[in-house]
Structure 1
């Protein structure tokens, strides 16, 4: 296995089998930022394995996915995921950046 495919497998494993959150299947492929945020919030609040607050866990997983998917995301899907960050802040009563 090449070094590149090992890295890809590692990040895929984190996304699919994270010890912090049990994600709903296909959550990052949704086209509605509010639905993505709500799903991440539910997952973070339901998890008893996370190491930080539900907000931090949910935001970290979303940011991790955006960063790891990188060039593989369409401009539209990246925009949806970035908007999901705004929705996630709203869901947790945090001030937008």
Structure 2
């Protein structure tokens, strides 16, 4: 039996050959997102797309604002250190734009 360097962690992909975060995004009661929404350069466009998705989603269980913000935060957290500083700034600004879009600024 092989052991990993960190107990309880897996270096392999989750069941089915996909990472668990991808499976969460695909199958959870989250949002049906526009393809490549997190690669957009304009934080306002990201926020508008997330808002539109949250308001029209039939899969979400909580209010649109909460679902949209959760999905954005989930993406930022899962990307972790793989995000460049520039990309992280764009996504963090998208949070501010999302708050504005929902009147929560």
Give me the TM-score of the superposition, normalised by structure 2. Answer: 0.82
Map 1:15-54 to 2 at 5 A.
Answer: 15-54=25-64
Q: Structure 1 segments of 4 or more deviating over 3 A?
A: none
Unaligned runs of 5+ in 1: none
8 Å contact kept, 1:15–1:65:
no
- Per-residue CA distance 1:12-71 (angstroms, 9 max, x = gap): 222344422000000011111000000000000001221110000000000000001001
Give me the TM-score of the superposition, normalised by structure 1. Answer: 0.88
Q: Which residue of 1 aligns with 2:4?
A: none
**Structure number with bigger Rg:** 2
Cα RMSD for the two superposed structures: 1.8
Unaligned runs of 5+ in 2: 1-8
Q: Which residue of 2 aligns with 1:14?
A: 24
Which of residues 43, 68, 72 is equivalent to 1:62? Answer: 72
Higher helix share: 1
Using CA pairs under 8 Å that are at least 6 residues apart, name the structure with larger relative contact order, 1 or 2. Answer: 1
Count of aligned positions = 94
